[in-house]
Amino acid sequence: MSKARLEAFSDGVIAILITIMVLELKVPQGATLQVLRPLLPIALSYVLSFVNIGIYWNNHHHMLHTAERVNGKILWANLHLLFWLSLIPFTTGWMGENHAAALPTSVYGLVLFCAAIAYTILQKAIITMQGSRSKLAAAVGKDKKAKFSATLYAAAIPIAFVYSWVSIGIYVFVALIWLVPDRRIEKTLIDA
Amino acid sequence: MSKARLEAFSDGVIAILITIMVLELKVPQGATLQVLRPLLPIALSYVLSFVNIGIYWNNHHHMLHTAERVNGKILWANLHLLFWLSLIPFTTGWMGENHAAALPTSVYGLVLFCAAIAYTILQKAIITMQGSRSKLAAAVGKDKKAKFSATLYAAAIPIAFVYSWVSIGIYVFVALIWLVPDRRIEKTLIDA
Amino acid sequence: MSKARLEAFSDGVIAILITIMVLELKVPQGATLQVLRPLLPIALSYVLSFVNIGIYWNNHHHMLHTAERVNGKILWANLHLLFWLSLIPFTTGWMGENHAAALPTSVYGLVLFCAAIAYTILQKAIITMQGSRSKLAAAVGKDKKAKFSATLYAAAIPIAFVYSWVSIGIYVFVALIWLVPDRRIEKTLIDA
Amino acid sequence: MSKARLEAFSDGVIAILITIMVLELKVPQGATLQVLRPLLPIALSYVLSFVNIGIYWNNHHHMLHTAERVNGKILWANLHLLFWLSLIPFTTGWMGENHAAALPTSVYGLVLFCAAIAYTILQKAIITMQGSRSKLAAAVGKDKKAKFSATLYAAAIPIAFVYSWVSIGIYVFVALIWLVPDRRIEKTLIDA
């Protein structure tokens, strides 16, 4: 089965998610700086989520690039990932409107954690299909970076109830270490 | 006529539908668990509809895969299917916000039933175009699974007025039997 | 210049327009038939506009199929068409919510008229680029059907202020004569 | 790495942005000309932004056309451009609803300025990847038009606080000089 439609569908969903978030920035009444101020935390959480979804799109792009074909299992693993990503606009708005209050900040981390797990499941499904000479398996290796990120997200979920800004700091930190796209895959593909 | 644009357009519409539903999850006032509670039934109906639309996308993907070309009749049969799918976000929100009340639950089943019929019409249009050696006809056979699902949906429509939770149970059950993508088509294509 | 991105972009915009309209069907308070009744005219105008946008997508599909390449003029003629189509959700909601009142019904016709003109301009731009042996020119001929439709829309605009239901009748009638995709193009292409 | 998904994803985001704006045109209560009047400035700012996003899509189309492959840096430079474009619907609505008041008009220019800079960064990333025989570098030359536009936007930002209509005039003027797609690239490609 060809991967073209899987990529097109994922691109569509991710494109919608990344743009739908900005709808949370409701046009305010009035034309002064004061009316913009309450939008600032929402705008900042929008930037963070824009980068996070951008990272998923980039890595998804790299990962699918190594796949030649897809099967039913991969289709569903991909939909599962898209499901968790689809909750990001909601949690972004909730966290932004409540100025990083404990519960919304924790739920934001929970959704990122589930998305990370879903990404790993999708990766495994592709590797399983590619078999022993999997290009993707060679590229990601032990996938320390992904495990490290998921651990940090898992830590941020309870931490949010004590110091919510530390959790925010973790989300920003994980985003920064991923901003560089997965050069391991790029490298392996070039070497191959 | 090439099927590329039909697939691209369908992917676009389905991608929008599957993500638009999450907009029904309005960001609540306040940052406590209490404000999340009223969202729970909406969130659960969102999950059910996400899976249902995902199933349609998967099966659509498999079905179109067997088609080499499309004609005007297929274009319209496809738009007809997309029309019924486009009503799912509305009925999902209505059913979720009314905690599975009789009428919304019944209407939810009605839309799913119409979508199932529209899917069958599209399938017939493709088989007719492919002629006597239709790959798709060989793959679906008597299509007992689709007939069974449509019958269950038809039953759920009146049942909702007596025991709405039985209808919900039927929707979940039908979703589960379809979660496995149409392996018959995959098999036939591999054998061919 | 390849036409692939023009098609992809148009598919994206049209897919969004055809699904965005359904957002006008706001989930009502309450779970009774009474709360659905005020939605009925909006739902009916949604069906009409769904068919109209579907017709544009189908004909756009057929028309672009005859084009091998595109130029800057075609890109802008296409954006011009998409602009008028993008106003359809607004006029659909306005007409539906006001039960076919004079002004909204007239404006609905005005937007359809402008879209029809924009479609003709795009068609001319493609024919001009294809030159004297234009497949598209051969297929559409004198394009009586398009001229007939535009004339009917032009008539419906003032008529709406006297008998708005006659204008609605005209919109439905024009939709019906186009529901059959442009077989002339299909035929010419098959003959060629 | 292939550029197909980059184009598809950008097309998706830009298609959503260009259609999401029209959602700011809320269906008014009542069916008279009076209820349309307050929508007029919003509609006009919608037209301006539709043209601006259309220009970006057209130039993006031309620019990517010269690229054969993309790398991680280009992916992120592209996402950076899409980020600034994603703020256009918000600033469009804000400027339109406040009848070109000073601050919203200035912010509108700021977002356009940032988008212009982001476009230049993306262009540089592509030229760097193409190396010394870059088709794109040959096509854009010293890129006087882009520099001129960015300078005008930069001027419009402070001017808006004194004469906001002059800034609007600048936005319209810059849109007009770009309405003609980048024929330099078309020419160079044809000559090549």
A142 pLDDT tier (thresholds 50, 70, 90): confident
- Residues of D in CB contact (< 8 Å) with A are 1-2, 5-6, 8-9, 12-13, 15-17, 20, 23-24, 71-72, 75-76, 79, 82-83, 86-87, 89-90, 93-94, 97-98, 101-104
Tell which of C11, C13, C50, C57 to mutate to test the B interface (max B CBs under 10 Å): C11
Tell which of A7, A18, A59 to mutate to test the D interface (max D CBs under 10 Å): A18
DSSP H helices, D67-101, are 72-86, 88-97
DSSP-derived secondary structure for A100-159: T-HHHHHHHHHHHHHHHHHHHHHHHHHHHHHGGG-HHHHHHTT-HHHHHHHHHHHHHHHH
Q: Measured between alpha carbons, how far is D17 from A23 in angstroms, rounded to an integer?
A: 10
pLDDT at res. C66: 83
C-beta atoms of A11 and D16 within 8 A = no
Q: Measured between alpha carbons, how far is D63 from D186 in angstroms, rounded to an integer?
A: 10
Q: What is the mean pLDDT of residues C149-158?
A: 96
A190 pLDDT tier (thresholds 50, 70, 90): low
Q: What is the mean pLDDT of residues A34-57?
A: 92
In chain C, the percentage of residues whose pLDDT exceeds 70 is 93
Torsion, Cα B142 B145 B146 B147, to 10 degrees, reads: 70
A146 pLDDT tier (thresholds 50, 70, 90): confident
Taking a C-beta distance cutoff of 8 angstroms, is the pair D142, D135 a contact?
A: no
Average pLDDT of chain D to the nearest whole number: 88
ipTM reported for the complex, 2 dp: 0.86
pLDDT at res. C105: 96
| Nearest of D166, D145, D144, D146 to residue D157 by alpha carbon | D166
Of A8, A32, A183, the CB nearest to D72: A183
D123 pLDDT tier (thresholds 50, 70, 90): very high
Convert the pLDDT of each residue in D131-174 to its tens digit: 877 777 777 777 788 889 999 999 999 999 999 999 999 999 99
Convert the pLDDT of each residue in C110-150 to its tens digit: 999 999 999 999 999 998 888 877 777 777 777 788 889 99
CA-CA distances (angstroms) from residue C35 to B103, B135, C28, C108, D136? 11, 46, 6, 26, 58
CB atoms within 10 A of CB B4: 16
Q: Measured between alpha carbons, how far is A184 from A31 in angstroms, rounded to an integer?
A: 48
Q: Measured between alpha carbons, how far is A19 from B174 in angstroms, rounded to an integer?
A: 33
C-beta atoms of B9 and C57 within 8 A = yes
Of A5, A6, A101, the CB nearest to B31: A101
C-beta atoms of A94 and B15 within 8 A = no
Taking a C-beta distance cutoff of 8 angstroms, is the pair D48, D88 a contact?
A: no
Backbone angles phi, psi at D170, to 5 degrees: -65, -45
Greater confidence (B86 vs D100) lies with: B86
In terms of C-beta density within 10 A (0-12 exposed, 13-18 middle, 19 or more buried), how is residue A182 classed?
Answer: buried
Q: Is the pLDDT at D182 greater than 60, yes or no? A: no
Rounded to 5°, the CA angle C122-C128-C130 comes to 105
Q: Measured between alpha carbons, how far is A31 from A11 in angstroms, rounded to an integer?
A: 36
- Helix, strand, coil % in chain C, rounded to nearest 5: 85, 0, 15
C-beta atoms of D181 and C9 within 8 A = no
Taking a C-beta distance cutoff of 8 angstroms, is the pair C188, C135 a contact?
A: yes
3-state DSSP call for residue D2?
strand
**Element holding D175 (H helix, E strand):** helix D164-179
CA-CA distances (angstroms) from residue D161 to A28, A79, A152, D91, D108? 19, 48, 46, 16, 12
**Element holding B76 (H helix, E strand):** helix B72-86
**Element holding D30 (H helix, E strand):** none
Q: Measured between alpha carbons, how far is D16 from A12 in angstroms, rounded to an integer?
A: 10
Of C15, C33, C58, the CB nearest to B103: C33
C-beta atoms of D15 and C13 within 8 A = yes
Q: Is the pLDDT at B191 greater than 80, yes or no? A: no
C2 pLDDT tier (thresholds 50, 70, 90): confident
C-beta atoms of A83 and B50 within 8 A = yes
Tell which of D79, D99, D106, D164 to mutate to test the A interface (max A CBs under 10 Å): D79
- Considering only CB atoms, which chain D residues are within 8 Å of A15? 9, 12-13, 15-16
Residue of C nearest to D25 (CA): C90
DSSP state of A181: -
Q: Measured between alpha carbons, how far is A153 from A147 in angstroms, rounded to an integer?
A: 10
| Nearest of A89, A47, A88, A82 to residue A176 by alpha carbon | A47
Q: What type of residue is B183? A: R
Which of A65-69, A182-186, C188-192, D179-183 reaches the highest mean pLDDT? A65-69
Q: Is the pLDDT at D53 greater than 90, yes or no? A: yes
- Considering only CB atoms, which chain B residues are within 8 Å of C47? 83
Taking the CA of residue C30 and the nearest CA in chain D, the distance in Å comes to 22
**Element holding D132 (H helix, E strand):** none
- Considering only CB atoms, which chain A residues are within 8 Å of D20? 19, 23
In this complex, the chains that touch D, judged by 3 or more CB pairs closer than 8 A, are: A, C
CB atoms within 10 A of CB B30: 14
Backbone angles phi, psi at B180, to 5 degrees: -70, 120
Tokens of A41: 């935390």
Long-range Cβ contacts of D173-176 (<8 Å, 24+ apart): D174/D112, D174/D149, D175/D48, D175/D51, D175/D52, D175/D55
DSSP state of C160: T
C-beta atoms of B15 and A24 within 8 A = no
pLDDT at res. A183: 59
Average pLDDT of chain A to the nearest whole number: 88
Taking the CA of residue B136 and the nearest CA in chain A, the distance in Å comes to 15
Taking the CA of residue A85 and the nearest CA in chain B, the distance in Å comes to 10
Q: Quick one: how far is CA C192 from the chain centroid?
A: 28
In chain B, the percentage of residues whose pLDDT exceeds 90 is 53
Among A51-60, B133-142, C30-39, D64-73, where is mean pLDDT lowest? Answer: B133-142
DSSP-derived secondary structure for C65-111: HH-SB--HHHHHHHHHHHHHHHTHHHHHHHHHHTTS-HHHHHHHHHH
Residue of A nearest to D10 (CA): A15
Convert the pLDDT of each residue in A100-137 to its tens digit: 899 999 999 999 999 999 999 999 999 888 887 777 77
Taking the CA of residue A161 and the nearest CA in chain D, the distance in Å comes to 31
Q: Is the pLDDT at B117 greater than 60, yes or no? A: yes
Residue of C nearest to B101 (CA): C31
- Considering only CB atoms, which chain D residues are within 8 Å of A28? 94
Taking a C-beta distance cutoff of 8 angstroms, is the pair A79, B15 a contact?
A: no
pLDDT at res. D166: 96
